Copies of this chain bind each other. A is one copy, B any other.
Amino acid sequence: MPELRKSPIIERWVIISTERGKRPLDFKMEKRPSRGGFCPFCNGNEDKTPPEVLAYRDPLTAPNTPGWKVRVVPNKFPALQIEGDLDKRGDGIYDIMRGVGAHEVLIESPDHSKNIHHLPKEHIESILWALRDRCIDLKKDSRFRYILIFKNWGEEAGASLEHSHMQLIATPIIPKRAIEELEGAKFHYNLKERCIFCDILKHEIREQKRVISMNDHFIAIAPFASRFPFESWILPREHVSAFEKTTADWFPSLAEILKSVLARLEAVLDAPPFNFIIHTAPCKTPDLDYYHWHLEIMPKLTKVAGFEWGSGFYINPTPPEDAAEALRNVDLTCGETNAQLQQKVEEQR
């Protein structure tokens, strides 16, 4: 059973995932990870994953057979396990609980060769709907406090399988980074009675220089204090605190802007490895006036990880204004043109 252990010094919990049980020798072997060959996420290999918890599929096909468009399955090597209670306890001076949670994988399409933004807009919309469905379902479990939704793409970004997928982890604690963001946003709200994210997006639309892309319901920006080169955030233009509470008819806009931003990053940076994370309100909270869900995309370009992990101090060699300009200037045949974007930005000023 995996364990959740709390740092005795700061408010940080760590999953010690003994089930994945890596021994010293495994790390030696890991130096040359093998690629290619058999893929459990491909069409026809449905029996090589745990049984699906959700699939959008041809109604004439049976579960766990071909005929699906988007498929969600439990992770075969879960960081947290679904059974049992938390059993919170002390161990001398330390705090510990059982690693109870859910760890699911969303397989974005049966096509091994396509990343999410290579799919048609309508397909991306289905993926987002599947995420929303799983979110709503997982939030019903009273043991869970937060649903982490993220994507690792490319080996350098930590993806262990090549076939494009996303992950959902339901945790019995709220991750440190989420707490910090919630508290920071609450502080701003208490001071000014305004959502900090709403303030940011108004400011950025006025200033224009950090805007990457925009449509009816969403905006993509390079954030003012970007930690990483080409860090990109997507935010709903109206206030919504939780991802799954996004108005249904905004989903086409969300699919469009996600496709646009990822395609721009691919064009400018030559298909970089990347991570994205949905930052959303915790479980068991009502609609929050002070918090605003958003999606943070981090291309993995620099390798200063360990130092910055340890210090919390980031050195970013690319000003976000330069990154936004380069991304904005990509001419995407599939999306809005620069002239259209320019016009939209002008309209908002």
Interface of A with B (CB < 8 Å)? 5-18, 20-24, 27-28, 30-31, 79, 91-94, 148, 150, 152, 155-158, 169, 171, 175-178, 180-181, 183-185, 188, 196-197, 199-200, 203, 207, 223-227, 229-230, 268-270, 272, 274-275, 277, 296, 298, 300-320, 322-323, 326
Contacts and interface: CB of A to CB of B under 8 A. Distances in A.
27 contacts: A7-B223, A7-B224, A8-B199, A9-B188, A10-B180, A11-B180, A12-B312, A13-B225, A15-B315, A16-B226, A18-B317, A20-B317, A23-B318, A23-B322, A92-B203, A93-B200, A93-B203, A94-B224, A94-B225, A152-B307, A156-B303, A158-B303, A158-B304, A178-B311, A227-B309, A277-B307, A309-B309
A275 B312 contact: no
Given A27-B272, A196-B9, A311-B177, A298 B306 contact: yes
A322 B17 CA distance: 12
A348 to B, nearest CB: 15
A185 B9 contact: yes
A305 B300 contact: yes
Contact of A12 (B92, B207, B225): B225
Contacts of A185: 9
Contact of A225 (B8, B20, B199): B8
B177 A313 contact: yes
Contacts of A27: 229-230, 269-270, 272, 301
B184 A313 contact: no
A13 B313 contact: yes
A341 to B, nearest CB: 18
A158 B306 contact: yes
Contact of A313 (B94, B171, B230): B171
Contacts of A13: 225, 313
Contacts of A152: 304, 306-307
B150 A5 contact: no
A298 to B, nearest CB: 5
Given A9-B188, A14-B225, 19 more contacts: A7-B224, A9-B196, A12-B312, A12-B314, A15-B315, A15-B316, A16-B320, A18-B317, A20-B317, A23-B318, A24-B268, A24-B326, A157-B303, A169-B313, A176-B312, A274-B306, A275-B307, A300-B306, A305-B305
Would you list the 3 A-B pairs with minimal beta carbon distance, nearest first? A275-B306, A177-B312, A176-B312
Contact of A277 (B11, B203, B310): B310
Contacts of A301: 27, 30
A312 B93 contact: no
A10 B176 contact: no
A10 B272 CA distance: 27
A7 B318 CA distance: 16
